[in-house]
Structure 1
Amino acid sequence: MSTRSLSRAPWRRLARWQKAMLAVVVLFAVLCTGLVTIGLGARHRYEGRVQREDILGRGVPPRDEQRWDRGPLNLLLLGSDSRDGEPDEGRYPGQRSDAIMLVHVNAARDVATVVSIPRDSYVDVPARPGSWAGGPNKINAALAFGGAALAAETVHRLTGVPIDGVLVANFAAVRTIVDVVGGITVCLPHEVVSTDTGTRWPVGCHQLTGPAADDLVRQRHNVPGGDLGRIHDQQLVVRAIAEKITADGLLTNPARLDRLLTTATESLTVDRDLDLTELALAVRRIRPETLRFVTVPVADTNLSTPAGSAVRLDEARADALFGAVREDTVEQWLAANPPTVAD
């Protein structure tokens, strides 16, 4: 179906859900991945493009009572990447969870906090017969050893946070999404040099095309703080996309919106029972200015382990953050522990 064949009525209905779609774009857009957004009038057009998988259930106990219309929500976002020339391993050949995020939506449904977990965090990864005996490893290994289900179980064991939905998106969507919105402006507080293309981004603001944004969010070797610096840059890109969409009114442009939604949904795998329409409704009040970013506190970024150099989380501070997510007191935690990235 071409964009011209879409009737005006569905797009008018989509326009009524602009805030819902924008919120989902902000939450699930780039972070080295894609996005999911759905409008009631065009639900089946896009929902049918999303891949579904049994992710929750094994090792992640469901809430006693899940209500999409009220109460806090916790969503797990995984950004996977497959790169040419690298060996295939595990159930997700060649894929690594280069972005691992818990998105906490408060009970009032008007503030969302993106909690980034460093991909090299050295944690306990549960066993998976035939692929992994279980034990300490980098958290991003869980995706290769047991797919999104093992990644979700690992995050749940680490945090104790109930997970209401899981979304896995592919890095490849970054280029197209940024180009669809006409490029973005990202202001860097530190210099970044690409180990892939040699591109140098000095301190300051830069206009980025899709390929440039894709290149930037992959970098961690020539970035202050390594993987922590990359997480910071990923957060900047997400915010830049949200601001660009808001400024340009992209959500009221049928052709561009259709391309954005098609790219987004085709890049996503979600839990089989996740209702995308209910999700969009649940986050419709979230705006760019009510989106918070925080990285799980770390104690050591150069921990020597059998899996190589890894990150050791600051156990006391991390537990306090995870507790705040469980108790829906993240705003209080942030007030006492102001973030130093993506302010």
Structure 2
Amino acid sequence: MNADLQETGTAKRRGWFGRRAGWQKALIVLSVLLVFLIGGLTAGGYVLVSHYENQVDRAALLPSAPAGEAARSKQNWESGALNLLLLGSDSRATEPGGSSPIGERSDTIMLVHIARDRSRATIISIPRDSYVEVPAGGSWKGGKNKINAAYAFGGAALTATTVRELTGVPLDGAMIANFASIHDLVDAVDGVNVCVPYDVKSTFSDREWKRGCHDMDGAIAEEFMRQRYNVPGGDFGRIRNQQLVVKAVIAKVAANKLLFKPLRLDELLGIAADSLTVDQSLNLRDLVLAVRDIRPADITFATVPYTRADLRTAAGSAVQLDTRAAAEMFAAVRNDTIDQWLAAHPDGTVDDEGE
């Protein structure tokens, strides 16, 4: 391709991506992980990943880990379960790894667990308004706040520390979606078919999605995922809608074997390279090897259990996590038994035995 034309195309992509919202950026990260890397890349695809690894932005997204934990993480990449933090940031004005001015918050927070045997992955969404203990950082002296405030006070590093203390799960890597759009991703795969388990009426147009399956291009998928008022569960319904679209993208890529078509793969990876900021220590080629045998059917989505979404706090209306159920879920992640836990607790609740 002519270098000037290639540069022009890249500039247009970056300009478009720069206007996307934080939750859309998080989706591109998740999609990059599950779509671009999962499914058994051909040798040519692996070369492309290696090429684009040098084009993604790098930043110190994770705080310094104690020597023992760093050694365990290195071992995890070789033979243990892996846990990655995925963030979507509201801000485009500051470095993702550094401190952010007050008001710029992480719109989406996800924990990705890759099983020790590399056969499956679990994506756990942490509600952005979860009322949790946020450690001291930046101008914040520490205390209870919404979890997405951690990014405002101390960037990705403080968010990672907050997630680490909330879950007890050591983090082996981190990524932020930067200048990206699920809109572009859906169009890049020529649209998706999304199966919706409930009725959703748009608050932005007269469009309505009845329970059932719907073909969506990028613009329609974007509108669908922005819904939070006429969808069951409000913000939690929006999380569900996001997951439905990501699943549809994964299914489309797998069905059309796009990972095995060099020109299409190159286009998708180009979107990814423009989208991602990854932790300075994360090796994307190692990540490819870790997830290459996982298939779409082996990916599970979940949300941290909660008891109420209208908790009155000094930080405003917040989400009260279900302390006991969440603790059990996080323990299952640490023990690499999260699939079994989710199967035993499909509604995210636990029995109140002994109470």
Q: Compute the displacement of 1:93 (Å).
A: 7.8
Where structure 2 has 5 or more consecutive residues not aligned to the other structure, the ranges are 4-23, 38-44, 94-98, 349-355
Where structure 1 has 5 or more consecutive residues not aligned to the other structure, the ranges are 4-28, 85-89
Paired residues of 1:31 and 1:235 also in contact (CA < 8 A): no
AA in 2 matched with 1:32: L
CA RMSD in angstroms, aligned pairs only: 2.5
Partner residue, 2:87: 78
Paired residues of 1:81 and 1:98 also in contact (CA < 8 A): yes
Partner residue, 1:127: 136
- After TM superposition, list the pairs within 5 Å mapping 1:164-243 onto structure 2: 164-170=172-178, 172-197=180-205, 199-243=207-251
- After TM superposition, list the pairs within 5 Å mapping 1:25-64 onto structure 2: 32-34=27-29, 35-36=32-33, 37=36, 39-58=45-64, 62-64=69-71
Mean Cα deviation higher: 241-250 or 214-223: 214-223
Paired residues of 1:95 and 1:144 also in contact (CA < 8 A): yes
Mean Cα deviation higher: 40-49 or 176-185: 40-49
Partner of 1:243, secondary structure, is: helix
- 1:230–1:246 distance in 2 versus 1, CA, 3 Å: same
- 1:171–1:158 distance in 2 versus 1, CA, 3 Å: farther
Paired residues of 1:60 and 1:153 also in contact (CA < 8 A): no
AA in 2 matched with 1:165: G
Q: Distance in 2 between matches of 1:283 and 1:2?
A: 34
Write the deviation string for residues 231-287 of structure 1: whole angstroms up to 9, x where unpaired.
Answer: 111111111111000111212222221111011121111110000000110111110
Mean Cα deviation higher: 246-255 or 285-294: 246-255
Q: Compute the displacement of 1:292 (Å).
A: 0.9
Q: Distance in 1 between matches of 2:91 and 2:213?
A: 29
Q: Distance in 1 between matches of 2:226 and 2:160?
A: 23
2:157 to 124, 146, 149: 149
2:338 pairs with 1:330: yes
2:125 to 110, 113, 116: 116
- After TM superposition, list the pairs within 5 Å mapping 1:240-319 onto structure 2: 240-319=248-327
Q: Distance in 1 between matches of 2:91 and 2:183?
A: 15
Partner of 1:69, secondary structure, is: helix
Paired residues of 2:128 and 2:148 also in contact (CA < 8 A): yes
Relative to the length of structure 2, the TM-score reads 0.80
Partner of 1:316, secondary structure, is: helix
Q: Distance in 2 between matches of 1:249 and 1:107?
A: 26
Q: Compute the displacement of 1:144 (Å).
A: 2.1
Q: Distance in 2 between matches of 1:263 and 1:101?
A: 21
Mean Cα deviation higher: 197-206 or 308-317: 197-206
Write the deviation string for residues 20-71 of structure 1: whole angstroms up to 9, x where unpaired.
Answer: xxxxxxxxx9853342546432344311221111122347883442222311
Structure with the higher helix share, 1 or 2 = 2
Number of aligned residues: 309
- 1:95–1:303 distance in 2 versus 1, CA, 3 Å: same
Q: Distance in 1 between matches of 2:26 and 2:199?
A: 19
Q: Distance in 1 between matches of 2:49 and 2:102?
A: 31
Relative to the length of structure 1, the TM-score reads 0.83
AA in 2 matched with 1:119: R
Paired residues of 2:85 and 2:173 also in contact (CA < 8 A): yes
Mean Cα deviation higher: 29-38 or 209-218: 29-38
Partner of 1:338, secondary structure, is: coil
Mean Cα deviation higher: 230-239 or 164-173: 164-173
Q: Distance in 1 between matches of 2:148 and 2:54?
A: 28
Q: Compute the displacement of 1:81 (Å).
A: 3.5
Paired residues of 1:60 and 1:163 also in contact (CA < 8 A): no
- The percentage of counterpart residues that share the same residue type is 51
Q: Distance in 1 between matches of 2:262 and 2:278?
A: 25
Q: Compute the displacement of 1:222 (Å).
A: 2.4
Q: Compute the displacement of 1:198 (Å).
A: 5.1
- 1:202–1:242 distance in 2 versus 1, CA, 3 Å: same
2:114 pairs with 1:105: yes
Paired residues of 2:180 and 2:274 also in contact (CA < 8 A): no
Partner of 1:32, secondary structure, is: helix
